[in-house]
Amino acid sequence: FEKLKAEAASRWFRPNEIYAVLANHERFKVHAQPIDKPVSGTIVLYDRKVVRNFRKDGHNWKKKKDGKTVQEAHEKLKIGNEERVHVYYARGEDNPNFFRRCYWLLDKEAERIVLVHYRQTSE
């Protein structure tokens, strides 16, 4: 995990890495409050049942046409041939190269833990 944290600013995690962290979340710190304006490379674990507003992080994210709702893309990532991880992608409004990805397991027993990864890209 320390190696992953060191690489968090330079690359997105692979599905198997995300799965390993989420499946073993009890080994890591799960935050009880949203972090204000996390910087690129920040990765945070939250319990979605405890921190319902974990996406209220102080950043201005690109909105849908209604101007209120954050525009998020939703995908399911596969581990092998099976969909195991849900991901939401959001792009910065003020900085279109700043992204947030929120991951959680599709398994009903473990879906309450979410991994949030912030990253500045050059793409």
Diameter of the chain by CA atoms?
40
Domain that holds residue 12: 1-120
Within a 10 A sphere around the Cβ of 108, how many other Cβ atoms?
7
Residues 6 or more apart whose CB falls under 8 angstroms from that of 109 comprise none
How many domains are contained in the chain? 1
Query: For the chain, give me the number of helices (H) and strands (E)?
Result: 2, 6
Give pLDDT, residue 2. 77
**pLDDT tens track of the chain, all 123 residues?**
778 888 898 999 999 999 999 999 999 899 999 999 999 999 999 999 999 999 999 999 999 999 889 999 999 999 999 999 999 999 999 999 999 999 999 998 889 999 999 999 986
**Distances in whole angstroms, Cα of residue 118 to Cα of each of 8, 47, 59, 69, 81:** 8, 17, 11, 19, 27
Give pLDDT, residue 123. 63
